[in-house]
Amino acid sequence: MYFALKSIGKDNEEKINCLTSISDKWQLIDRIAKHDGYDGIQFSNPFYGIPIDNPPGYIKEYRLAYHLDYTADFTQDGEMEKYNSIIKEGLLCAVENRMEDVSLHPPIAWHKDHRRRDEFQKKFANIIETWLPMFESEGIALSVESHVGGNVFLHSSLEKYAAFMARYPKLGALIDVSHNFNDGRIISDIIKIIGDLKITGLHLSDAISGAEVGIGTHLPVGNGEIDFSDFLKYYVHYNVYGALEIRATSQIISESLLKLKRVSALLYKATGAAASFIEAAGTPPMAAAANRPADRPPRASTSCLL
């Protein structure tokens, strides 16, 4: 497992918004990633006002992923064409810039449209069946984030999300542990329901179960109720990214990353022997990651070492 920069902090967002040069913006992203010791970067769309179609070479040295943070609404005219266009642009960008994974935000199905869920699911299935082979042919993972429920998203429960995803064994699952926990799922539930899917990445932040979503998600590590030792133990030995998605200052995000690194290091050490035994036996554990490009050498951190 490796950690990827996603959230940069409210203060750094203000700094980057004051910069007029795209080159200066990229250099700030690089300084943040190096300072905290990230091995990867997960782009979003938009990415702090920076076009990501041609990042500089020093950014391409990181392991790159791309989250197409667009929520499709199939009740709108022309939405299928628009969604296909966004995914096409994402694939082209990923191919040109050596990205490993492109993830989709799941479509919405507002409560007034619940009677049309089957129709929307057929449309989304058509999207997946169209694009998954193209991503696979380029050696890039295509993934879908695990946002469910709330009278908003296409899949009304984690079980229905898992059932849809299981139809496509080569489709990746991006687990948003904060939202799933906030929905009332404990860690063991999450792993039991979706842990056997092709896990490609994790969106990491703390959460409070049952709290209003704007208050109870995307919290700094330690400000919520998630036991990250219990969650990360399933992933520390596998080639998945953990992108921090935290609403806070840069210092608090850095502190959250350090806490997660410490937890991961302890888990890696404690479970190393067991993982080696399982690998030797040829039996993948629950939540095993699917094949992805080989790890690059880890970047040295200029912040505190574990």
CA-to-CA separations, 81 to 57, 78, 86, 102, 122, in angstroms, rounded? 33, 5, 9, 19, 15
Q: What angle do CA 224, 227, 228 make, to 5 degrees?
A: 105
Q: How far apart are CA 94 and CA 91, in angstroms?
A: 5
Predicted TM-score of the model (pTM): 0.89
What is the token pair recorded at 152?
């908003």
Beta-sheet strands, E only, within the chain: 2-5, 40-44, 63-68, 99-104, 141-145, 172-176, 198-204, 241-244
Cβ proximity of 292 and 200 under 8 Å: yes
pLDDT computed for residue 129 by the predictor: 98
| CATH number assigned to the domain with residue range 2-281, chosen from the 4 options 3.40.640.10, 3.20.20.150, 3.30.70.2080, 3.50.50.60 | 3.20.20.150
Q: How far apart are CA 33 and CA 84, in angstroms?
A: 31
Q: Per-residue confidence of the chain (306 residues) as pLDDT tens digits?
A: 999 999 999 999 999 999 999 999 999 999 999 999 999 999 998 899 999 999 999 999 999 999 998 999 999 999 999 999 999 999 999 999 999 999 999 999 887 777 788 999 999 999 999 999 999 999 999 999 999 987 789 999 999 999 999 999 999 999 999 999 999 999 999 999 999 999 999 999 999 999 999 999 999 999 999 999 999 999 999 999 999 999 999 999 999 999 999 999 999 998 775 554 444 444 344 444 444 444 443 333 333 322
Which residue matches tokens 């799922």?
Answer: 185
pLDDT computed for residue 303 by the predictor: 34
148: number of Cβ within 10 Å: 23
pLDDT computed for residue 274 by the predictor: 52
pLDDT computed for residue 109 by the predictor: 87
Cβ proximity of 63 and 100 under 8 Å: yes
pLDDT computed for residue 282 by the predictor: 42
